[in-house]
Amino acid sequence: MTLKKLLLATTAIATLGALAAPAFAQTTIRLVSKDLLTTNPDDVKEIEAIEAALKAQGHDIDIQTIDLPGGTSAYVDALGVMLLSGDIPDIIYFQGGDQKMAEQGILEDLNPWIEKSEHIKAALWPHNVERLANYPYLLYVYPPRAPQPVMRQDWLDQLGLAAPTTVEEYEALFQAIHDADLDGDGTPGNTLGLTGFGNTTELDSVFNQAFGITGTWMKNADGAWVNARVTDAEKAKIEFYARLAEKGLYDREYVTNTFDVKEDKFYTGKAGVIFGSSPEVIDIYAGKMRQAHPGENIELALLPVPSGPGGQGLAAVDVSKEARGWAMSSLSEHKEEAFAVLDFMASKEGQDIDRMGFADVHHTVGADGAVTFTDQISTWYARFFNAANWTPPTALLSPTAQSALDTIKADFTADNAFVWPADYAADVDAAEQVYRSWVARFITGEASLDQWDTFVSEYNAAGGQRMAEYAATVLGD
């Protein structure tokens, strides 16, 4: 018996037991998200505002949020345990682990709901449409995640350099940051040009195209499809990263850095350049930087996407499926109400709540109705959506963050990645581990680029070759 059949049987029994209970006009739906907790007063206040707005529209819905451990890894693990135990909320935020649940049939196909929606269909970004066509179980209405580099404008001014536009100019900028005493501690040479965390995905966002990495799959000299990670273009890019680290320009501790450690190095002047994963995050960085340096009027400068030997542009966007996002339970007895919540969050009123924060805290409203955002807006973040068709009553993003969004819109390129069948999961995971391990060793100096062929052999043996053979059947000639 599949998990879905088992849960349907359990639900049927529970429904029979509830028939004798008195009917209430209010409907309770359960929601789980790592960014909505009963222990966070702002989260609670936002949910209350959503409930009140829905009630005014005729939807009397009690939204019960479920607390799970914070942090992506802990949340994913706890969510998986909860779902496999048979505890399936009506609305679920996934940040991994969703495909297994979709294969079990417990996630709702969202496309029919979106097609008849009042608000969501018009709020989608182009890549959302493509991802939903390929994988209809997750909804993440945000611009593509395209990390872009920023630095303190006053530091760039002190260096007397123009913003870098090529790979070579980026290296020169990192070197200049390192050699100067921009943090004023009296010790030149102790500031990193660039920091990061976890892996090199952030850097890849602007350096992939520069080195000629045009997508997940590329053709080799023989015309065969291979993963871009075993190409000469990838080798050249990793060699660039390794050279930066060897010269003390790129943070060799990036593998063990958490996102907050990465940020702290930026705020405290231990690193000059940081990547913001979204325009909103860039503004959060600016707000936190000013908090770390009270009395100083610090602004951030967005650095351009560099050109290089392979070209220029943001990395291609995977449109095979959402990597994270909102799902609805196919077992829910309250699908209409659950979707009503999601659809409302894509409406103008829902976006006003989710994007603007609270009146007299994150914004003020004048007697003439004009909205003015306070400094507190820099620390506010949307819990649900960033609708493509929502326009704030006054500029919400700083000019720096708006420039980042404009770049994302202008540079969107769809990747040729696809969703893997379940029996390739082990190959995908093993090949990814081999890749990340070798990249870390190359960058930290534990391995030499002379060992590139050894890496390629290990990658292919771990699953890369089998994956390439399957890719050829999907991508064709």
* pTM of this structure: 0.80
Ordered per-residue pLDDT tens for the chain, 477 residues: 555 655 554 444 444 444 444 444 799 999 999 999 999 999 999 999 999 999 999 999 999 999 999 888 899 999 999 999 999 999 999 999 999 899 899 999 999 999 999 999 999 999 999 999 999 999 999 999 999 999 999 999 999 999 999 999 999 999 999 999 999 999 999 999 999 999 999 999 999 999 999 999 999 999 999 999 999 999 999 999 999 999 999 999 999 999 999 999 999 999 999 999 999 899 889 989 999 999 999 999 999 999 999 999 999 999 999 999 999 999 999 999 999 999 999 999 999 999 999 999 999 999 999 999 998 887 788 999 999 999 999 988 899 999 999 999 888 899 999 989 989 999 999 999 999 999 999 999 999 999 999 999 999 999 999 999 999 999 998
How far is it, in rounded angstroms, from Cα 129 to Cα 139? 10
Dihedral sign, CA of 203, 205, 207, 211?
Answer: positive
CB-CB contact of 203 with 275 (8 Å):
yes
Question: To 5 degrees, how large is the angle CA 305–CA 274–CA 430?
Answer: 85
CB-CB contact of 336 with 321 (8 Å):
no
Q: Which residue is associated with the tokens 């292919």?
A: 460
CB-CB contact of 10 with 86 (8 Å):
yes
| Equal fold, 3-143+320-388 vs 148-316+417-475 | yes
For residue 45, CA distances in Å to 10, 56, 245 come to 34, 17, 45
Topology adopted by domain 148-316+417-475: D-Maltodextrin-Binding Protein; domain 2 (3.40.190)
Amino acid in the structure at residue 92? I
Q: How distant is the alpha carbon of residue 41 from its chain centre?
A: 24
Q: Where are the domains of the chain?
A: 3-143+320-388, 148-316+417-475
Beta pairing, strands 27-32 & 61-66 = parallel
CATH number of 3-143+320-388: 3.40.190.10
